[in-house]
Chains A and B, each alone.
Chain A
Amino acid sequence: MISKPTHRPTYYEELRQKGYSRRDFMKFCSMIGAYLGLEASGIAQVANALQKTSRVPVIWLHFQECTCCSESFIRSSHPIVADIILDKISLDYTETLMAASGHQAEAAMHKTMQDFNGEYILCVEGSVPTAEDGVYCCIGGKSAMQILDEAAAGAKAIIAWGSCACNGCVQAAKPNPTRATPIHKLVKGKPIIKVPGCPPIGEVMAGVIVHVITFGRLPELDRVGRPKAFYSKRVHDTCYRRPFYDAGLFVETFDDENAQKGYCLYKVGCKGPMTYNACGVTKWNNGTSYPIQSGHGCFGCSEENFWDNGPIYRQMANFPGFGIEADADKIGMVAAGATAVGIAAHAIATNFRKAKLIDDLIHEGKDAEKEL
């Protein structure tokens, strides 16, 4: 059970208690400042905020999801990231990582919701099934919808982690049997930050949380509701293979010479040109690599409906309503072919149906020649 302490330690104090040096702390501030795109003075702001503010209570709910968001988060490159939020002290409730279980865990969550009403940040991983009164996802005898409603009521802000919470991801793909619904469609009147991706990049997740702590408000969001600092550039525009795209040099199949040479993956279905994410810059696993660098196209995991815009390995998406393997070009070519046949038939028929008219025209012309 968590009791409300009279003095809540600041982030900095907690980190010092855990044995991090001042130097480690400043390194972390610099790193996260760089990810946030802050100038040098902004890094001091981050350090200042983490030293002065007591930790913000966090409730982290898991619904229809695979926990890959949590996995990504605890693997972000700086250890403080995990310690600062995902430590059992900082995180008041999360099914996956908390020590408590059963009634104890439920009690802890309710205590946080009561004690920090209007102050805590609600992180939601996963979508909420709304079909059949939400029976497809129940925790502790309550449906996901009920839990979300309760938790959202007193939240200061909501962070929707990952594509499940932002757009429903794979379980919301057609035909969406459980009617999996993203968070922003269920909770109204609360600020929501969408951090899509399957999963989102760990550093991006950390950056979003640190931004909220440092500046006490939401980061600037794009038109979809994603933080601009990480989702304002297309994967395509930050791709190191972009010169091959501009040169018109493409991988045709995954086992051809062009693939070996590292040409652009556009023709084997890379969705980088329509996808906004930081993969090309921040990369994954301590900046080791990202899908395109390992020879696989981006499949657009941070975009709406990416599962329904397949096939993954073709550039042109299927055209809705025309069955599988029917892209816009195939339909268009059939339409153009049918038109050509129609035109030919019309041209032939014209010569029969309008024979007299055409004949008259020829005679008129010949008569006119004689008059000359």
Chain B
Amino acid sequence: MASITHSSPHKLRRVFVWQLPVRVYHWLNALAIVALCITGYFIGNPPALLSGAEASDRYLFGWIRFVHFVAAYIFFFNFLFRIYWGFVGNKYADWKNFIPTNKKFFQEIWQVLSIDIFLKKNKEHMSVGHNALAGLVYFFTFIAFMVQCITGFALYANMSDWWFADLFIWASWLFGHDDFALRNWHHATMWFFIVFAMVHVYLVFYHDYVEGRGETSSIVGGWKFIDEEAFHKDQQDTAEWEVKKKGRAIR
């Protein structure tokens, strides 16, 4: 996708980028992560509360843990759904957005780095769905999702009567049956999510502020705005993507 310097007025076209399942996934995921980080932080560092009440009248920490476990289940199955959608969704949801499979992917990463991160003067990068750098970073977050799910459910397995959590018990073996280390890594990985969320939200603000193409509202309604020229390019890409996808389906 081209990087263009604009002096003439933009002529914008509207593109439907984020399908409803993608948007629902995004917000469920965001809510689950916020809930998991807050409750998870408290599980690691319980607040000091002084209370005259009897222990039998209180269940605060029990609730904190309960919320953590419920959110964990939502987070996990929501994540599984997103992986599935990477195979059946539209071009912008396709799994190929996240895993570098060709040279073009790396070229675009470099473009995004120089324009949006190192702030090449008065340039902007036109992408419709995820840009390549964002895609790769999301791939890393998916790995972090996996790490959290595996370590989390491995810690949870012995509290659970359901066979599901037992599926993750091998993670304890990976850590040499050292549940202290398992727990420590689970807690440390939480900070990846916190740092990610900070950068993620900032970059949404950045794109909307610099480009004015409806970045923020796109994850609510699904629509983005894009320059005429880039729009036609994107239409072409979409057509090619559909042909390839059909080809795959037939084979």
A250 to B158, CA, bound (A): 23
Query: Is B60's CB under 8 angstroms from A248's CB?
Result: yes
- Listed residue (B48, B158, B180, B190) with the most chain A CB atoms within 10 angstroms of its CB: B180
B57: nearest residue on chain A (CB-CB)?
A247
Q: How far is the CB of B4 from chain A (nearest CB, A)?
A: 11
Give the size of the chain B interface in residues (CB under 8 angstroms). 57
Question: Would you call A332 and B190 a contact (CB within 8 A)?
Answer: yes
Q: Which residues of A contact B55 (CB under 8 A)?
A: 243-244, 246-247, 249
B54 CB → nearest A CB, Å:
8
A358–B158 alpha-carbon span in the complex (Å): 55
Pairwise interchain contact B58-A247, C-beta atoms closer than 8 A: yes
When the two chains form their complex, are residues A346 and B9 in contact, meaning their CB atoms are under 8 A apart? Answer: no
Cβ-based interface call for B140 (8 A): no
Answer whether A223 and B177 are a contact pair too, CB < 8 Å, given A250-B46, A267-B46, A332-B190: yes
Bound: A346/B61 CA distance, A: 39
Query: A238–B46 Cα gap in the complex (Å)?
Result: 20
CA distance A346 to B201 in the complex (A): 13
Which residues of A lie under 8 Å from residue B188 when comparing CB positions?
A: 319, 328, 331-332
Residues of A within 8 A of B122 (CB): 353-357
Q: Smallest CB–CB gap between B127 and chain A, Å?
A: 16
B180 in contact with A300 (CB, 8 Å) = yes
A149 on the B face (CB < 8 A): no
Complex interface: chain B residues within 8 A of A303 (CB): 177-180
Q: Could you tell me how many residues of chain A have their Cβ less than 8 Å away from some Cβ of chain B?
A: 54
Q: How far is the CA of A350 from the CA of B119 in the complex (A)?
A: 7
Q: Cβ of B191 and Cβ of A331 under 8 Å apart? A: yes
Main secondary structure of the interface of A (DSSP, over half): helix
Task: Decide yes or no whether B220 CB sits under 8 A from chain A.
Answer: no
Residues of A contacting B47 with CB < 8 Å? 248
Is A339 in contact with chain B by the CB < 8 A criterion? yes
A331 to B190, CA, bound (A): 11
Most buried by B among A252, A258, A357: A357
Is B49 among interface residues, defined by CB-CB distance under 8 A? Answer: yes
Is A339 touching B180 in the complex (CB atoms < 8 A)? no
B195→A339 contact, CB < 8 A: yes
The reply to whether B177 and A304 form a contact with Cβ atoms under 8 Å apart is yes
Which residue of A is nearest B186, CB measured?
A328
Given the interface pairs A317-B180, A331-B188, the reply to whether A361 lies near B212 with Cβ below 8 Å is yes
Decide yes or no: A246 and B6 within 8 Å by CB, A266-B46, A315-B44, A328-B187 being known contacts: no
Residue B101, interface by CB 8 Å: no
- Contact of B158 with A223 in the complex, beta carbons under 8 Å: no
User: How far apart are the CA atoms of A336 and B159 in the complex, in Å?
Assistant: 32
In the bound complex, do residue B184 and residue A328 qualify as a contact, i.e. CB atoms below 8 Å apart? Answer: yes
Q: Given that A317-B180, A356-B122, A364-B9 are contacting pairs, would A248 and B191 also be in contact in the complex, using a CB cutoff of 8 Å?
A: no
List 28 contacting pairs A-B, 8 Å CB cutoff, sorted by A: A223-B177, A243-B56, A246-B58, A246-B60, A247-B55, A247-B61, A267-B46, A274-B180, A304-B177, A304-B178, A305-B181, A309-B184, A319-B184, A328-B184, A328-B190, A332-B190, A335-B195, A339-B199, A343-B202, A349-B119, A353-B120, A354-B119, A354-B121, A354-B124, A357-B6, A357-B124, A357-B211, A360-B7
Q: Which 7 A-B pairs have the closest CB atoms?
A: A332-B191, A248-B60, A309-B180, A247-B58, A328-B188, A248-B61, A246-B62
